[in-house]
Amino acid sequence: MISIGIVGYGYWGPNLARCTSESERCQLVAIADQSPAALARAGKRYPAVQLHQDWRDLVADPAIDAVMVATPVSSHFEIAINALRAGKHVFIEKPITPSAFEARLLIEEAAKRNLRLMVDHTFVYTGAVEKIHELVTTDAIGDVFYYDSTRVNLGLFQRDVNVIWDLAVHDLAILDHILDLAPVAISASGTGHFSGRPENMAHLTVFYPRGVVAQINVNWLAPVKVRQTLIGGSKKMIVYNDLDPIEKVKVYDRGVTVGGGSDDITELMVSYRTGDMWSPHLSFREALIVEIEHFADSIENGTAPMTDGHSGLRVVEMLEAAMRSLRQNGAPIDLMPLARAS
């Protein structure tokens, strides 16, 4: 049983609190938030839990094994580094930090103290992404050609991060998990339609070796919600629609085979394959509970979580490169070859 303290009870903190309570692997013992109203809500819902207005008091509590950080991104580093220094395992909302520099400091600190550092890349723990990961790594879809994601809705405009840091981060985390490839370069463009505000729509292209490419379309100002990803492979292709309540993942036995020469001057020798479609049954266990129990496992067994600090760092490096490209209207930014933790 891991004793958990949560810092931040705004938008996501209540979900962490609920799932931590429901899991039999963890015990929620403390919540910190600088807002008295947020603390009052937490206290009404969890009467037995310790409440703190200053997160430093929570971090100082010797009864706590692990700290979950669900505050605005700008404060992630300070809270997390102090929690690690106090000997706590740390679980941080995505993105792990506002800069790769800070993420590296956290990784070092955790390694030095032999503590677990985990980033909350929630989608990695869904039944859908788990199934896609299986389809990719078992070669069921063949060579991956592309990943093309549309993630748009009428979303909460945020003050301190733009739509890339808010939404594209999910796709970058999924890509980091399912592809065994380090990205080579990123091109991004984006626009803010309200002056002095962060970009509310953007598009990223991530270039990988061997012509593999990822496209990510994100938008806070869309009339309808779309969460659809196409994944093309040499053998099969996947449609992942996260809004479908049941059939989130569909696998299509479709594709083309490009042959040799042809006398026709306008068409290639291409044969098309259009076979069955198959929608595998998925686990519908709530991802956040799966993830929190994975965190508990990694603490108990001393093993690296799937979405450890290195994973968080790689995603932040991509976000930083995307921001640089965006400032240059899409000029490609090279990424240093990133060592894969695996």
Subset of residues 245 to 274 that bind a copy of itself, contact rule: CB under 8 A: 245-247, 250, 252-256, 258, 262, 264-268, 270, 272, 274
Binding-site member from 87, 154, 180, 324 for a copy of itself (CB under 8 A): 154
Interface with a copy of itself in residues 171-200 (CB under 8 A): 185, 187, 189, 191-194, 197
What phi, psi does 117 have (nearest 5°)? -120, 120
Binding-site member from 54, 108, 139, 160 for a copy of itself (CB under 8 A): 160
Q: Which of 7, 172, 15, 161 is nearest to 91 (CA)?
A: 7
User: Please, what's the b/e burial string for 94-126 (b: 16 or more CB within 10 A of its CB; e: otherwise)?
Assistant: bbbbbbbebbbbbbebbeeeebbbbbbbbbbbb
State which residue, 127 or 305, has the beta carbon closest to a copy of itself.
127
- Cα 46 to the chain's mean position, in Å? 28
The amino acid sitting at 12 is W
Stretch that binds a copy of itself, among 95-103, 224-232, 288-296, 315-323 (CB under 8 A): 224-232
Closest approach of a copy of itself to the CB of residue 113, in Å: 30
State which residue, 192 or 341, has the beta carbon closest to a copy of itself.
192
State which residue, 62 or 211, has the beta carbon closest to a copy of itself.
211
The span from the CA of 102 to the CA of 83, in Å, is 14
The span from the CA of 19 to the CA of 126, in Å, is 14
232 binds a copy of itself (CB under 8 A): yes
String marking each residue 287-316 x if it binds a copy of itself according to CB under 8 A:
------------------------------
Q: Under a CB-based contact definition with an 8 Å cutoff, are residues 85 and 109 in contact?
A: yes
Binding-site member from 57, 61, 78, 148 for a copy of itself (CB under 8 A): 148
In the structure encoding, which two tokens stand for residue 116, read together?
A: 């677990």
Closest approach of a copy of itself to the CB of residue 250, in Å: 8
Number of residues engaging a copy of itself in binding (CB under 8 A): 74
Interface with a copy of itself in residues 271-290 (CB under 8 A): 272, 274-281
For 313, counting Cβ atoms within 10 Å of its Cβ (0-12 exposed, 13-18 middle, 19+ buried), the class is buried
14 binds a copy of itself (CB under 8 A): no
For CA atoms 244, 247, 249, 255, the dihedral sign is: negative
In the structure encoding, which two tokens stand for residue 66, read together?
A: 């692990």
Interface with a copy of itself in residues 43-62 (CB under 8 A): 47
